[in-house]
Each structure stands twice: as C-alpha cells, then as structure tokens.
Structure 1
Amino acid sequence: MHATADAGFRAIALDMRGYGDSDAPDDSDLYTPFHTVGDVIAVLDHFRIGRAILVGHDFGANVAWNAAMMRPDRIAAVFGASVPFIQPGGLSFLDQLRGAGADGFYMFDQMTAGADAKWADAAHSIPASLYWLSGEPPADERWDPFDPARHMLRPAPGAPTTIDPAYVDEMVEVFGRTGFHGPLNYYRAIDTFYAVASRAFANCVIAQPSFFLTGEADGLNAVRSPTEDSLRETLPELCGFVALPGVGHWPQLEAPEAFNAALVGFLGTVSPNNASR
C-alpha cells in the first residue's frame, strides 16, 4: 500500500467477501467470480473510479484475472501473485485432476464441510499454514498440494521468520473472530463457476497489460508450472514474470521489498491514461 501510494497511485485495499470486516454469506455459490468481480466493480463505483489496476494474491489474483476478463472496460491492468490466470473452456482444471485420479489434491479436502473444523483453531492453523507454504521448511518437508501427508495444517515450529510477527498476530486475531467458513467457500464455488464460465468465457485471454510474480519454492507451481512462455499463451500483453528464489507462497510477506519493486516497476509501465492514478 505504501509503496504504490509513494509511487503516485491511489492505493485501495478491501477485505474480500468472507474475510475480515466484509460480509460472509453462508452459501458457497455466492463466492464465484460472478459475485466477487461484482464486488470489485461496486467498490470502483463507490469511489467513482472509472478504470483501475488490480493487484491480487491467491484467490485475490483469481478475482483480479477474472475481473480483467469480464470487465475490460473497468480493469486497465493486472498484477497477479502466486495464482496465474486459468483460462475457461473445456474441462475445468479440477475435473482434469479428477479424471487423472489425483484424489489427494488439497482443494478437494478444502471443499468438504469438515474443512471448517480443521481450520477453526486460528492460533494453530494460521502459523502452520504460513510456515508450511513458505520457502522456509526443507524442500522435502514443504507443503505438497498433491500429497495429503504433507498438508498445510501439520504441527509447525511457528510462523516463518521471514514474516512480520505483528502480521501473524493480526491474522490469528481476525480469523479467530471471523472463522474460516467464508474463505473456504471460495474452494466450494470453483465447480459452480466453471460450469458456466467454460461456456460463457471459453478461450478468453487477458488483453490488458499484465504481470505475474511467484516464489520459486511455492508448492502451487507444481499444479501449473508457470513460465513466461506458458503464461503468454493466455496473457498476450504480459509485461513481466518473476520467480523469487527461496520464496514460497507468500511473496508479499516473505520478500516485501522485492515484491514492491516488481509491482512499482510494472505500474510505471502502465499508461496513466488507462488507469486511476
């Protein structure tokens, strides 16, 4: 926030639905990008912003990519972290995994009703998930999205030393108050979205300027193995690709200076005529 504001941009952050102080509907079907992209547009309307650059991480990145796809009139550019754009069309990526017999893929467990209880103790689940998904654990012990034995809620020595302890404490407090049903609904909404998107948005690409950043040690890279060439197939206006060495799934927390440098550098390439500055 400070880095982008110091670069001359108006920086706005929102709690996505299901998180923090935002509404958290019980129904998982209310967490598809049809709804969350609508949330983004509503925020832009509230602040009377015509076009904006979106920056998102993980499910936030998914919202940003889909907002660019659905509303190119309002989204000028996208900076996505850790989760690349998933192009709709044909079998969804989850159906592809089901067809390949990858029943141990972590998302299938996150989609179950019992996942809420597994995550409920924020004092354990927050530090554990931050640690195992980071670049700090030994490579052979780090979270593996395809191996249930190396799941993200195993007992951990604590949160990663690379992440600000004050941030961890705030995460524990907030999730201890709001719970995990809303956040887990994003997994439960995936099939609902792709059942429609695979027809309505088949083979769409992101035509706006884009940038993708990930950590080299992020276990999610095993799912899609992003490279600059592979990303460019669906991001024809890709302006850059960075994989931070020794960094896991939380690049904005594990390596904030490198993250901010990439972000501000990208923002400098986007014409102020195309976005709110």
Structure 2
Amino acid sequence: MEYIVHRTVEVNGIKMHVAEKGEGPAVLFLHGFPELWYTWRHQILDLSSRGYHAVAPDLRGYGDTEAPASMSSYSCFDIVGDLVALIDLLGVDQVFLVAHDWGAIIGWYLCMFRPDRVKAYVCLSVPFWPRNPKVKPVDAMRALYGDDYYICRFQEAGKAEGELAKNSTEEVLKKLLTNRTPGPPILQKEGMGSNLNTSMPLPSWLSLQDLKYYASKFEKTGFTGGLNYYRNINLNWELTAPWTGAQVKVPVKFITGDLDSVYTSLGMKNYIESGAFKKDVPNLEEVIVQEGVAHFNNQEAAEDVSNHIYDFINKF
C-alpha cells in the first residue's frame, strides 16, 4: 500500500484527492457509498502490476476530496464533469472504466454523456437502469417499498445523518459494509443507528485496519457528501430527459454477487436476465454472477474481480 501515490488535483472547480499506481493504459476506478478510493486497494495493486495506470479518486463529497455545501452540487452533471476534467488531466483521450455502487451509476452517466472518453466499462453491482419518463425514480421506489426503503429515508437533509450519529462511525460502517441480507434494504422505523450488533466479528476480507481507515475519513467529513448523491436522484431524472431511450454503446462487462441487495431487489435480476439489459446496452459482452458474494464484491471477492477486470480490458 505504501507504493500507492497520492496527490491532490484541481478539477471542475474543486480539489480532488487521487490515489494511483503503475504505468500504461489508464484504468479509472469509481467507488460507491459509503466508500473511498480505498475500496479499490486490491485492484490498484493488481492492475498496476499487470501494466496499467490505476487511478482511484475520492469522489466529490468523500474523503480528502472537497465537499461542496450545496446539495444540488452533487448532480450527475457535476460529478461527470469532475471525471472528464480528471481524464483530461491524466493526458489521455480514453480510460478503461471500473465502477461500483454509486460509482457504477456515475459510470453509466459518463458512458452516456461522453462515450468518446471510455474505451470499455467493467461495472460492478448496479446495472444500467433506463429512464422512465412517466415517474420519478424515488417516487417509484416509495410506491414499491414504502417510506422506510433506504433511498427514501435518505432524502431529507440531515435526518439520516442524525440517525447514523446514534452510533460510532466505525460501528455504522461495519454494519453497512458487512451486511449480507439480500433483498431491498428496509430500515428500522426507530432509526438507522438502532440495534446494531457490534459484537459480530469482521469478515476475512475486511480487517480492523481497513475499517479504521474508512472511519477516520468519515469521522472528518460526515456522511452528508455521500448522502447527497441519493438526494439528487430525482433531479438527475429531470436533467437527463434528453437521454430518454438512449442506449449505452461502450463495451461492457457486468459483475455482481448473488447476495447483492441491488441484484435481489427492484426487479434487477429479471431486467438483467430477460435481455432488457442487453437491449439498453447492446455491447454488453458478459454478465458474471458470483455465488455466495454480497454487495461489496470488489473487496469480498477481490482477486476474482481483479482477474475479471484484467481479462476484459486486456482484449482492447
């Protein structure tokens, strides 16, 4: 880990922290919630050893990257703008893109808005989800799962932060990162910080040192930056009206775990397996479903994910 280089760069009006290692074609890694560049620690070391320049930023609002105060500063246009500026700064025309969770959603936007900048995309956990012009996505989620569905509960500014503050940052992150319950995440009515089982041992793929690193950063920043991504879901729906019906045409490999809460809710499994995903992403080359693996597959099944990434991008 000490061989990973860290620097701060200016992109799109903010200061962004970037972790990188290696030389060769650029691979841009995008993390999700509640994560950091650190979620890609295994892939950075693996891909850099195989002749690639691995680049993993803290996205806006996270870690050592600036967190604008305005909630609306976390729209898909703002975040994709950060990434296009970062790609420019790397001095390359195109990157291989690898992304997970919210990073995956931003990855789909990047591929949709600027396909000229993405050579190929390895997407983890969250497939492309086409825009439904008839209903706002948060409204659709509320109708399907109710007000206690986690994305619905995240909408009100400050409320989720207050609930999370009932426990230590380390305990909250442990709960979020190690959850293996498939299906839609429905939160307890008494609050997200309630009834945490803090005695559960850490899984083999998440060390106490890893957990403390995450906690040290979120203790400084809080969770608001990351939660603001969720609070812009309906705004993103409004902003992307011109892309209704648009296909994503970059080459794609999709990897998920069969216990992933995204794969097992919102009709995602049927969408992926029915051919609808392939229709929206015509150059979807492969779908990998990892058995016995939950949401944070880039950490839980790190070696397998690294090999899948390499096998795919090495073709180009």
Asked if TM exceeds 0.5, the reply is yes
The CA deviation at 1:257 is: 0.9
| Distance of aligned partners of 1:183 and 1:44 in 2 relative to their CA distance in 1, 3 Å threshold | same
- DSSP 3-state at the match of 1:8: coil
Q: Does structure 2 retain, via aligned residues, the 8 Å contact 1:20–1:178?
A: yes
Q: Does structure 2 retain, via aligned residues, the 8 Å contact 1:82–1:214?
A: yes
CA distance in 2, matches of 1:20, 1:263: 25
Structure 1 residue 20 corresponds to structure 2 residue 66: no
Matches within 5 A, 1:232-247: 232-247=278-293
Q: 1:123 aligns with which of 147, 161, 170?
A: 170
Matches within 5 A, 1:98-247: 98-100=142-144, 102-112=146-156, 113-120=158-165, 121-132=168-179, 134=180, 142=181, 144-149=183-188, 153=193, 154-156=195-197, 157-197=200-240, 199-221=241-263, 222-226=265-269, 227-228=272-273, 229-247=275-293
The CA deviation at 1:144 is: 4.5
Q: Does structure 1 retain, via aligned residues, the 8 Å contact 2:259–2:295?
A: yes
Structure 1 residue 65 corresponds to structure 2 residue 108: yes
Partner of 1:274: none
- DSSP 3-state at the match of 2:285: strand
Q: Does structure 1 retain, via aligned residues, the 8 Å contact 2:137–2:234?
A: no
CA distance in 2, matches of 1:158, 1:35: 39
Deviation digits for residues 114-145 of structure 1 (CA, Å, limit 9, x no counterpart): 1112223312111111122x3xxxxxxx2643
In structure 1, what residue type is equivalent to 2:177? L
Structure 1 residue 38 corresponds to structure 2 residue 85: no
Runs of 4+ more than 4 Å apart: 150-154
- DSSP 3-state at the match of 1:115: helix
- DSSP 3-state at the match of 2:54: coil
Structure 1 spans left out of the alignment, 5+ residues: 135-141, 272-277
The CA deviation at 1:102 is: 2.9
Q: Identity, % of aligned pairs?
A: 27
CA distance in 2, matches of 1:101, 1:166: 36
Cα RMSD of the aligned pairs, angstroms, is 2.0
Q: Does structure 2 retain, via aligned residues, the 8 Å contact 1:209–1:239?
A: yes
In structure 1, what residue type is equivalent to 2:84? I
CA distance in 2, matches of 1:178, 1:100: 32
Deviation digits for residues 32-78 of structure 1 (CA, Å, limit 9, x no counterpart): 11011001001011121111111111111111111010001212221
Q: Does structure 1 retain, via aligned residues, the 8 Å contact 2:142–2:149?
A: no
CA distance in 1, matches of 2:223, 2:142: 25
Q: Does structure 2 retain, via aligned residues, the 8 Å contact 1:19–1:183?
A: yes
The CA deviation at 1:101 is: 6.1
**TM-score, length-normalised on structure 2?**
0.77
Name whichever of 142-151 and 217-226 sits farther off: 142-151
The CA deviation at 1:16 is: 0.2
CA distance in 1, matches of 2:267, 2:71: 25
Partner of 1:138: none
Structure 1 residue 2 corresponds to structure 2 residue 31: no
Partner of 1:139: none
In structure 2, what residue type is equivalent to 1:200? P
The CA deviation at 1:155 is: 1.0
Higher strand share: 2
Name whichever of 119-128 and 36-45 sits farther off: 119-128
The CA deviation at 1:242 is: 0.9
- DSSP 3-state at the match of 1:246: coil
Number of aligned residues: 261
Structure 1 residue 249 corresponds to structure 2 residue 301: no
Q: Does structure 2 retain, via aligned residues, the 8 Å contact 1:214–1:251?
A: yes
Q: Does structure 2 retain, via aligned residues, the 8 Å contact 1:122–1:172?
A: yes
Partner of 2:304: 258
The CA deviation at 1:181 is: 0.8
The CA deviation at 1:205 is: 1.3
Name whichever of 111-120 and 6-15 sits farther off: 111-120
CA distance in 2, matches of 1:21, 1:101: 35
